[in-house]
Chain A
Amino acid sequence: MALKDITLGQYFPGKTLLHRLDPRTKILLLVFYIVALFMAKNALGYGLLALTLVGAVLVSRVGFKAVLRGMKPVFFIVVFTAVLNLLYTPGQGEPLIAFWVIKIYWEGIRTAFFMVLRIMLLISCTFLLTYTTSPILLTDALEDLLGLLKKLRLPVHELAMMMSIALRFIPTLIEETDKIMSAQKARGADFETGNLLHRAQALIPLLVPLFISAFRRADELAVAMECRCYHGGEGRTRMRQLKYAGRDYIALLLGLALCVAVWCSNLLGVF
């Protein structure tokens, strides 16, 4: 795996409707979507949700490829869940396949299929959020949405600041890791062969300098931030103000409608 492939927190700039929605709206929509996803019980509900996602991906123009790429790291979990559900869902009537200790019922297939669909939809919609929202806006929105918790003396601003700095330093530290790796390779270090234990050991000479340099960076950054008059969230203003527009209210209503529709579809009991 090349380090450059890490898509965490990646953002595809754009000007589509999905990009222009207020980030707070998008986070709330994601919450609605996840709630609806866990409410869905039958094909009609899942179908509605899958269609919504397809529609959203089309609107966002990030492309299905990008969304599917996000699925790669969880591939193992998806397969694992599918197999477990397939084998361990008890069913009524005759098992479809009975072989040695393995008994697969029709219900097992159904649950496994819906489980896989659920995980995939869950991950894709989350990725869609980070693909269409700049990390800064995302942390701003989180800070704003969690504003209520501030009254409970939770350090919301500090958490948001930490998150945005962490995101800011991901590319810098990846670059640094690449450099240290090359330096170690040039001196004969081997990161690619050997068993798991061997490879884990090979990481130590990589991690030690990386950590030391990260601490040094943190120290310098703290001084630089102080020099620019950072003194916590108190009395701080933002250049970019978050503002709900008409489209945000419409989007939120549609999100609610989706939840209701999925709930209703449960009652219909199709398949």
Chain B
Amino acid sequence: METSILKTESLTFSYPAEEGKEARLVLDGVDLDIEAGSFVAVLGHNGSGKSTLAKHLNAILLPSGGKVYVSGMDTADEARLLAIRRTVGMVFQNPDNQIVANVVEEDCAFGPENLGVPPDEIRKLVDDSLKIVGMYSYREHAPHLLSGGQKQRIAIAGVLAMKPRCVVLDEPTAMLDPIGRREVLETIKALNETQGVTVVLITHHMDEAAQAHRLVVMSKGKIISDGPPKEVFQQVEALKAVGLTVPETVELLYELNREGFDLPLDALSDEDCAQALYQLLKKD
């Protein structure tokens, strides 16, 4: 049976109105239900409300209207705050601003220390989570001497040490070079596949979004599309209308279709795309 871990019900949010300005509605009736163990990408342009949505998922922001539930707990319930944050870990864009300590393992220990875990158990949690992200051999290093991708993996390990059931990543690769991006993305995928952690990846990179099981597209505070990436990316016009692009493979097939061909639009990998073109050529 599929169980829901994150659930929002007609969630609305607006920042308090500044003087002489109207309050801007950032989230406008978001209904989202995320199953435990899934890998969901949330895609959207700047200002689409995707980061605001992320901040609602572990009670950093509280809804102006509607409800958010984290495995059944209402995020507005202050008594459950620690339980909620322990269930949903959060990773942000800039790794430098998330690392608290100046030794890698000390930073990893920060979460469990806050939760009052006994010292020898913390040791084990820290070692395990550093091994999952592949940074165990750097455990005694100073974070500021590591690369961006490595720092971000440490930030992920720091969250994992709290044994969360779900990890929300808010554009974790936006500040990284291509190598760092690949490292972090591999880590995220492994997290979902081998550890069974629910992953919510907020991003504006099409190729990252394409690797998720489910893709949610947001625009102007609303969900405009929701489904497996293969289906969502077929709505080329709808995506372009909100300022998003589609993966290059889909783009190519789409342009060919506009010239009168009849190709399937569900090729997300280079191989699939090549296959589709090969089939087309074979037919002629």
Contact = CB atoms under 8 A, between A and B. Distances in A.
A246 to B, nearest CB: 21
B116 A235 contact: yes
A221 B98 contact: yes
A165 B101 CA distance: 7
A228 B162 contact: yes
Interface string A231-249: 1000111111100000000
| Interface hub of B60, B103, B126, B155 (most chain A Cβ within 10 A) | B103
The list of the 6 closest CB pairs from A to B, nearest first, reads: A220-B97, A239-B109, A224-B98, A227-B90, A228-B111, A239-B122
B104 to A, nearest CB: 11
B99 A168 contact: yes
For the side of the interface on B, what is the size category?
Answer: 35 or more
Contacts of A164: 100-102
Nearest to B155: A224
A226 B85 contact: yes
Given A228-B159, A237-B118, 20 more contacts: A13-B140, A134-B103, A136-B102, A164-B102, A168-B102, A223-B92, A224-B100, A224-B155, A227-B60, A227-B89, A228-B89, A228-B100, A228-B110, A229-B162, A236-B113, A237-B112, A237-B119, A239-B106, A239-B109, A240-B119
Contacts of A223: 60, 92
B123 A224 contact: no
Nearest to B102: A168
A23 to B, nearest CB: 14
A172 B155 CA distance: 16
B158 interface: yes
Nearest to B95: A224
7 contacts: A164-B100, A168-B102, A171-B142, A227-B60, A230-B114, A239-B113, A239-B126
B119 A238 contact: yes
A229 B100 contact: no
A175 B96 CA distance: 11
A225 B102 contact: no
A237 B113 contact: yes
A236 B82 CA distance: 13
A237 B102 contact: no
Nearest to A226: B60
Nearest to B106: A136
B97 A217 contact: yes
A255 interface: no
B114 A236 contact: yes
Interface of B: 58, 60, 82, 85-86, 89-90, 92, 94, 96-103, 105-106, 109-119, 122-123, 126, 140, 142, 144, 155, 158-159, 162
Interface of A: 13, 134-136, 164-165, 167-168, 171-172, 175, 217, 220-221, 223-231, 235-241
A241 B98 contact: no
B106 A237 contact: no
Given A227-B85, A227-B89, A221 B97 contact: yes
A63 B1 CA distance: 65
A154 B223 CA distance: 49
A161 B121 CA distance: 22
B96 A172 contact: yes
Contacts of A229: 82, 85-86, 111, 114-115, 162
A32 B77 CA distance: 52
Nearest to A235: B116
Contacts of A235: 116
Nearest to B96: A172
Interface centre among A172, A221, A228, A236 (most CB of B within 10 A): A228
A224 B97 contact: yes
Contact of A168 (B89, B101, B159, B162): B101
A13 B141 CA distance: 10
B53 to A, nearest CB: 15
Nearest to B142: A171
Nearest to B110: A228
Contacts of A136: 101-103, 106
Contacts of B142: 171
Contacts of B140: 13
A173 to B, nearest CB: 10
Contacts of A239: 105-106, 109, 112-113, 119, 122-123, 126
Nearest to B83: A229
A217 B119 contact: no
Given A136-B103, A167-B102, A172-B144, A227 B58 contact: yes
Contacts of A220: 92, 94, 97-98
Contact of A165 (B100, B103, B118, B119): B100
Contacts of A167: 102
